[in-house]
Amino acid sequence: MQISCRDGEFHLSSGGMSYIFALDGRGAPRHIHFGAALSPDSSYRHLLRLVERPFSIGSMESAGWECPTIGRGDFRIPALEIEAADGSGVLDLLYAGHRVIEGKPPIPGLPATYAETEDEALTLELCLRDAVSGLELYINYSIFEGTSLLVRSSRVCNRGRGALSLNSAMSAVLELPDPDYELGTLSGAWARERHFVRRRLAPGLQGISSRRGASGHQHNPFLLLSRPGATETEGECIGVSLVYSGCFTAEVEVHSHGTCRARIGIDPADFRWQLGPGQEFATPEAVLVYSARGLGELSETYNSFYRSNLALGYWRDRHRPVLFNSWEAAYFDFTENDLVGMAEGAAALGAELFVLDDGWFGLRDDDSSSLGDWACNLSKLPGGLAGLARALGGLGLGFGLWVEPEMVSQKSQLFEAHPDWVIGVPGRPRSEGRNQLVLDLSRPEVVDHLYGVFHGILSSASISYLKWDMNRHISEAYSAALPPGRQGEFFHRYMLGLYALLGRLVEAFPELLIESCSGGGGRFDPGLLPFASQAWTSDDSDAIERLSIQAGTSLVYPLSSMGAHVSAVPNHQLGRSASLDTRGAVAFFGVLGYELDPRKLSEEDRRGVAAQIAFYKEHRQLFQFGRFLRLRSTWEGDGNEAAWMVVSEDRREAVVASFRILGRPNPASLRLGLRGLDPGLLYRVSPLPAEGSLSSAALIAGAGSPDVVQRENAGLRRGDELEVIGLLLSGEGAFDPPAGDFSSRLFLLEAVFGH
C-alpha cells in the first residue's frame, strides 16, 4: 500500500490496483488510470492526452477529470453541480493542496468503512478551490493494505461570501479509456431482489437510480463494469458501490470519442442543498473495487471488506443465532400460548432465538392500523413483552422483536397527536402505501421521540434482536419543518435522521443484534451494515428463487449479512414445494433461520430440521464467515443449475452444494470443479445427508442400489483432483436415482491430518 505524490502526479496503489491522476498545466486534477497495478516508481503523465477535436471546447472532453463540473465545455455527466448566488453554475476547480493521512477519517453523520488500525489504511485528501465562488472541495481517497479497492468521498465547503445551492454532489466518478464493458446491476422487484443483470454498454447514458427514499428492491446501489465474457475466474471487472440507503444514482456515459465515465452518488433528481458561507456538505462514500480475475475475486474483495471494515460492533465477528420467526408461521394471528408453543418446538429443534414478527402492538390484527403505537397488545400477550421474554428465556431462547419505527398508521394515537410529523405536502392528500404513512425523520424531535420509545421497549424486556422493517417508499416528499427553498434537502436529511436514530440505539444497546428489512430486501445496502449486521434478504423464502437472489446479493455482500430461512411448503410466495434438504441447503449459505410453525412439521421433517440445525451449528463459522464461491449460477447457461461453496480460511474445510432446478431424464454426465482448496491436501469427501430423502428416492426408483453420486464421490480425494476433475453430479446411467425437480446435493470436505 502506497501513496506517492510527485510533481503534481498522484499514485495510490494497494493489492493489485493502481489509481493515478495528475494535475494539468492549470492545476486541474485529470484522471489517468484505475485498474491493474502499475509501478509506483514511474510517471504516467504522458498518458494524459489533452487534445482538441472538431466541435469540442478546447480539450475539455479529451481526458478524464477527478471532479468534472459543468459549464466550461465538458458536456458529460458531472460530479458536482452548483448554483451560485448570481445564478451561474460554472466552476473551475484547481489544486489548492493535499495531505496524506494515516488510517481513514470517519464521515460525520454518515456510515463509512473504517480502518481498525492506522497502518491498515492510507488516505489522500486533495483540496481543490474555485477562486470565483470560494468553493472548496476536499476529495478523500482511501486505500487499504493488500486490498484492490479505493474508497472515495467528498466534502464541499462554501468559503465564499454568498450562499450556494449544491445541485448534485457525487461520491465518485470513474473515467475509463474505452467502453468495451458489460454493465451489470443487481435489479428486480419485491420478492425477486438483486437478480444479476448484464448488458453491453452502448453510446450515451445508461444506469439505474432510486427516487424512493430508500435504496429499494428495484436496483441496488452498485454497478459492475466487466469485460465481455468475464467469468467467475477470468476477465477484468470493476465494481462501484455506494455506502448509502437512500435515493441514489449509478450511471455510465459512453462518450462519442469512445471514453466512458461512471458516477455514483445521491440521486440529483430530488436533491438541492443550500450551503451558506462557512457551511459544508459531506457526500456518502463509494467503494471502487478492481479485479483482474473475474467476478469471483471482485465479490471476495467486497465480501471481506464489508464484513470486516464496514460491519461494526459486537456482532461483526460473532456467530449469529439460528432463529425461528413467527411471520410465515402465524402472520398477525397468534396468542401468547401459540408463541410459547412454537418456541418450545423451536427450542427442541435446536433454535437459539425466537423472533416475534408484526402484530404484537396496539390493535394490530392486520396491516391497517397501529404503527406508531408501540405498546404491547396485552390481549394477545397478557404477560407483556417482558413475560414473553421470560418464557423464551426459560426455554433457552433469546427474544427478537419486529419493529417498523419509521412508519405511522392513520389509525393510531401517534397520528392523532402529531399529524404534522408525517411526510406530505400541506394541502394535498398523502398517499398511503400498505395503509401507512412515513414519519418525518428529517425532524430531530421525531428522531428523539422514536429513540425514547424504542429505548423504553428495549429496556422493558430482555430483547436481544430487532428486525427493523420499512414497508413502503416515500411519496409527497416534503417536510413541514423545512422552508420551501430547502425541500431539496429532505431526502438526505431523512437518511441522516435514520442513521442518527440507529446510531444512538446501537450505542445504548451495543449487544443488540439488528436485522434490517424493507418488505424483504428493499433496503439491503452497505449504508445499513454498520448498524444492522444482517439484513432480511427477501420476502421470497422459496429456495429456488433464493438461488438467484442470494447469489446476486453475494456479488457484493457477505454471507454473514444475509438472513436465509427455511419456510413451509407449499411456499407462501410461489406455491412451490421443494424438499426440506434443498430448502436447508440454500438457507445454510447465510444466517440460517426458520419461517414456519415447528408444531406443524411431520415427525420426519422435525428430525430433518433438527439435523440441519445441528449441522449448521457445527459448521457455522464456515457458513457465516467462510470464503464464499459461486461455482455455477442461474444466470449462466440454461439457468437450470447452481452450485455454491464455502471454504475455511485455512482451506482445510469446505461445504459444497449443488442445485438442479428441473430434473432431467437420463441426464448428461456432469462434473463440478471446485475452487479455493489446497491442491496438495487430501480431503475426506462426505456426501450429505448420509441417509434420508436421497436414499428414499433410490428406493422409489426401485433400483435397490446405493445412490451412485454418493458412492462415486465419497472417499479421499486430493485437492487438485477436486479442482481439475471435480465431483460427479450426474450421468452414471440407469442407476441415477430420479431426484425430481428442485433437487440438491451437499458435500462436506475435510482435510485429512498429516496430508
Identify the three-state secondary structure at position 674: coil
Nearer to ligand DGJ, 9 or 469 (CB): 469
Distance (Å, whole) CA 717 – CA 751: 9
Nearer to ligand DGJ, 296 or 405 (CB): 405
Place of cell 457465516: 624
Site for ligand DGJ in 460-489 (CB under 6 A): 469, 471
Work out how close the CB of 625 gets to ligand DGJ at its nearest, in angstroms, rounded to a whole number: 24
Total residues at the site for ligand DGJ (CB under 6 A)?
11
Angle at 295 between CA 285 and CA 559, to 5 degrees: 70
Work out how close the CB of 518 gets to ligand DGJ at its nearest, in angstroms, rounded to a whole number: 7
* CA distance to 299, 416, 459, per residue, from 453 (Å): 39, 17, 10
Nearer to ligand DGJ, 469 or 489 (CB): 469
Annotated catalytic residue, options 539, 581, 597, 605: 539
Joined together, the cell numbers standing for residue 507 give 450505542
Distance (Å, whole) CA 55 – CA 11: 32
**587 touches ligand DGJ by CB under 6 A:** no
Site for ligand DGJ in 630-689 (CB under 6 A): none
Joined together, the cell numbers standing for residue 252 give 455510465
Q: Which residues of 10-47 are buried (b: 16+ CB within 10 A; e: fewer)?
A: bbbbbbbbbbbbbbbeeebbbbbbbbebbeeeeebbee
What does the CA dihedral 629, 633, 636, 640 come to, rounded to 10 degrees?
A: 150
Q: Which of 327, 360, 490, 524 binds ligand DGJ (CB under 6 A)?
A: 327
Q: Taking CB positions, which residue lies at the least distance from ligand DGJ? A: 358
> How many Cβ atoms from other residues are within 10 Å of residue 704's Cβ?
8
Place of cell 446476486: 552
Annotated catalytic residue, options 270, 357, 469, 525: 469
Phi, psi of 309 (to 5 degrees): -125, 10
Work out how close the CB of 567 gets to ligand DGJ at its nearest, in angstroms, rounded to a whole number: 11
Nearer to ligand DGJ, 49 or 434 (CB): 434
Total residue length of the chain = 755
Identify the three-state secondary structure at position 89: coil
- Burial (CB count within 10 angstroms: exposed 0-12, middle 13-18, buried 19+), residue 128: buried
Nearer to ligand DGJ, 271 or 361 (CB): 361
One-letter amino acid of 286: A
* Interface pattern 417-456 for ligand DGJ (x via CB under 6 A): ----------------------------------------
Kindly write down the DSSP assignment for every residue of 496-543, as one continuous string: HHHHHHHHHHHHHSTT-EEEE-BTTBTT-SGGGTTT-SEEE--S---H
- Are 193 and 524 a contacting pair, CB within 8 Å? yes
Nearer to ligand DGJ, 327 or 490 (CB): 327
Work out how close the CB of 407 gets to ligand DGJ at its nearest, in angstroms, rounded to a whole number: 10
Distance (Å, whole) CA 281 – CA 488: 14
Nearer to ligand DGJ, 329 or 559 (CB): 329
Site for ligand DGJ in 344-383 (CB under 6 A): 357-358
* Interface pattern 510-539 for ligand DGJ (x via CB under 6 A): -------x-xx---------------x--x
Work out how close the CB of 507 gets to ligand DGJ at its nearest, in angstroms, rounded to a whole number: 25
Is 469 marked active-site? yes
Nearer to ligand DGJ, 536 or 644 (CB): 536
According to DSSP, the residues that pair with 384 across neighbouring strands are none
- Are 221 and 250 a contacting pair, CB within 8 Å? yes
Distance (Å, whole) CA 17 – CA 1: 9
Place of cell 423464551: 392
Indicate the helix (H) or strand (E) that contains 657. strand 653-660
Nearer to ligand DGJ, 154 or 471 (CB): 471
One-letter amino acid of 708: V
- Are 502 and 531 a contacting pair, CB within 8 Å? yes
Question: Omega into 570 within 30° of 0, i.e. cis?
Answer: yes
Residue 156: closest CA among 284, 282, 29: 282
Work out how close the CB of 232 gets to ligand DGJ at its nearest, in angstroms, rounded to a whole number: 30
Q: Which of 222, 315, 402, 623 binds ligand DGJ (CB under 6 A)?
A: 402
Nearer to ligand DGJ, 174 or 529 (CB): 529
Distance (Å, whole) CA 484 – CA 488: 9
- Are 301 and 145 a contacting pair, CB within 8 Å? no
Residue 711: closest CA among 727, 722, 692: 727
Work out how close the CB of 593 gets to ligand DGJ at its nearest, in angstroms, rounded to a whole number: 11
According to DSSP, the residues that pair with 592 across neighbouring strands are 564
* Terminal alpha carbon distance of the chain: 35
Work out how close the CB of 362 gets to ligand DGJ at its nearest, in angstroms, rounded to a whole number: 13
Nearer to ligand DGJ, 366 or 720 (CB): 366
Work out how close the CB of 480 gets to ligand DGJ at its nearest, in angstroms, rounded to a whole number: 27
Work out how close the CB of 536 gets to ligand DGJ at its nearest, in angstroms, rounded to a whole number: 5
Residues annotated as catalytic are 469, 539
Interface contacts to ligand DGJ, rule CB under 6 A: 327, 357-358, 402, 469, 471, 517, 519-520, 536, 539
